[in-house]
Amino acid sequence: MKLEDAFFNWLQMKIVSEARPDDRAAEDTRLFFEEILREDHSVTSYQITDDDSKIVITYQIGEEVKKLQFEKENAEQLLTDINSNPIYNQ
The predicted structure's pLDDT at residue 90: 61
What region, left, alpha or beta, does residue 62 occupy, with left being phi > 0 and alpha being psi -120 to 50 degrees? left
Residues of the chain with pLDDT under 50: none
pLDDT of residue 89: 66
Question: Which one-letter DSSP state was computed for residue 53?
Answer: S
Amino acid occupying residue 38: R
Segment (H or E) for 87: none
Residue 9 pLDDT: 98
CA distance 31 to 47: 15
Q: Treating both helix axes as pointing N-terminal to C-terminal, what angle do 24-39 and 3-19 enclose, rounded to 10 degrees?
A: 150
In this predicted structure, what is the pLDDT of residue 88?
65
